[in-house]
Amino acid sequence: MLKLQIHIPKRILMRLLLILKRVTKTKGSLLIQYINIKTRSAQRGSKSRSSFANIYSIYVLIEDYINNNFHIKGKYSQYDGASFSSLLKRMRELPFGAKLQTHALNHRMNEEFKKYFPNCEYTPIIRDLNTNKYWINENLLKIRINKKIYNISEIIISIIEEYINVKTDSFNRFIEQCKGLEHVIKTNNENDVVDFILNLLKPNVDARLFEIVSYAILKNYYKDIKIYWGFTQDNIKEDYLMLYKTGRTNANDGGIDFVMKPLGRFFQVTETLDFKKYFLDIEKIEHYPITFVVKSEDSIENLKEKINDNAMKLYGIETVVKKYLNCIEELINIPRLIDYFNIVRSRGDLKYLLDEIVIQSKTEFNFKTEDSQ
């Protein structure tokens, strides 16, 4: 990672951080408060969502601000602004940022900031749609403490870089733990591996990791199931079921996470039972059947009952609700995933499952280890 050269002595930096810690409890620095909210996952390990897009949009704009010495010489109001292409390029150069999209710079960070601080008169990211130039709102980089104005741009850069270091170290440990457990499989003691994977099937685990582990389990469960099919009775072929991941968890894939060949089944991983966005205009058209993998420990029966109740509240017509429910081909909850995991384990396929978790995790989190570069 390319780092800015911060010229604040460590002693003064620590003193300012202590001051800022007190200030953030007041109205002194809303930007610091926002960053504090967005970096909470640093205390929760690799299994929590990292919010890099919004954080990096702040980082690259402040980095541009410091690189041009506006924190020292002032006159930022006369700056022509940073180009969108250079900012996005820089965001994608940062760890975990290779596949970040444009939303954070364009509107998402500003909208979320406004959600947390509705009474703030300042918009963090300023942009000119005609020139496609961007600025950080300098008002949010200055705080008053005891009648003195402090520019906290370098402090913010230091905080974000430390957050990146923590998340990188955490994810490195996660990957190394996966690889280390592969060696454990060769022994007769699989308890560590089992505990590790089961801990990734908890309701409070990051949604992306849950989707990855669900996929690894289902792929390895279905791969030994054989079917016979053909277009005529004289042309029957034998195939094993194959499950494919359609893309990353944030991809615009129409709500489909996994696809199964040759049956053509569709799978969606979800944290909620609010499925109405998948069944728009269901009263008008025939919707394709879909299997939902639900991040819940509730029984299948309870989940079905909740879905039925939600559908009745939404549509209120039994014929429409029946059509709604018929579109749900299968519900897979956490207990069922654990059952499938135990079957995979009994086949001796734990290593393949771990390999898949490592591969998918590196892809999902845009992460490259030294041995993969």
What is the pLDDT, as a whole number, of residue 65?
96
Confidence of residue 355 (pLDDT cuts 50, 70, 90): confident
Question: pTM for the whole thing?
Answer: 0.62
In which band, very low, low, confident or very high, does the pLDDT at 280 lie, cut at 50, 70 and 90? Answer: low
**Which range among 38-52, 87-101, 180-194, 259-273 shows the weakest confidence by mean pLDDT?**
38-52
How would DSSP label each residue in 264-305?
Answer: TEEEEEESSS--GGGGTTTTTS-PPPEEEEE---S-HHHHHH
d(C-alpha 24, C-alpha 297), whole Å: 38
pLDDT tens digits for range 135-189 = 999 999 998 877 888 899 998 998 888 888 887 877 777 677 666 666 666 655 6
CA 119, chain centre distance (Å): 28
Domain ranges of the chain: 10-167, 188-372
Highest mean pLDDT range out of 71-85, 271-285, 357-371?
71-85
pLDDT confidence tier of residue 367, bands split at 50, 70 and 90: low
Provide mean pLDDT across the span 56-72: 95
- Give the closest residue to 324 by CA, choosing from 272, 354, 371, 286: 286
Residue 293 has pLDDT above 90, yes or no: yes
